[in-house]
Structure formats: C-alpha cells, structure tokens
Amino acid sequence: MFGAGSIASMVQTMKNNRSLLKEKTQAFKHRTVKDGPFTHNKLNFKKATPREFELFRRKLLAEKRREKQIRTLLWILAILLLFIILYFISN
C-alpha cells in the first residue's frame, strides 16, 4: 500500500499532540466563584465627575489630533521620497 506509513505517522503525531494539550478543565481551576457564576468577572469603575469627563475628552481629542498630524506628515514625506526616487531613476 502506498502512503500507509505516512498515514500511520500522522495518526501517531495527532495522538502525541493531543496528549501535550492541557485538560480543558484545568484552564478554569484557578478561577474562584463567589455568590454565583461570573462574579469574578465583574469590574468596578471609578465614578467620574463631569469635569473629569471633559478633561479626559479634551485629552483624547488632543492625542487624536497629534496622531493625525504625524500620520499626515509621514504620508507627505513618503510621497515626496517616492517622487525623488522616481525622478532619479528616470534620469
């Protein structure tokens, strides 16, 4: 039979890989459940005042504006560099 050895080695490799995997139940053993399911996943956020929200919003908008300026500058430099390279290649 052709390929019988390769199929047997494939089956053996699959068995070895399966034995190397962790048991599915071990992934959840470190979690502790209190007062019912999913209580360990609850998040507690700090309550913010409207002033804090406004400061945070302004900070985010400033960061966004700065990133947009940098991205635009990089595009302009890349296009300029491309034109310079094409100019020297064509001459």
What mean pLDDT is predicted for residues 64-79? 98
If one counts the domains in the chain, the total is 1
C-alpha atoms less than 13 angstroms from C-alpha of 32 in its C-beta half-sphere: 1
Q: Which of 75, 53, 76, 56 is nearest to 64 (CA)?
A: 56
Return the SS3 of 24. Answer: helix
| 82 occurs within a structural domain | yes
**Whole-structure pTM value:** 0.47
| 78 occurs within a structural domain | yes
Please give the structure tokens belonging to residue 36.
């019912």
| 21 occurs within a structural domain | no
| 74 occurs within a structural domain | yes
| 34 occurs within a structural domain | no
| 15 occurs within a structural domain | no
Report the C-alpha gap between 12 and 9 in whole angstroms.
5
Q: What's the pLDDT tens digit per position in 16-69?
A: 888 777 666 566 666 555 555 555 566 778 899 999 999 999 999 999 999 999
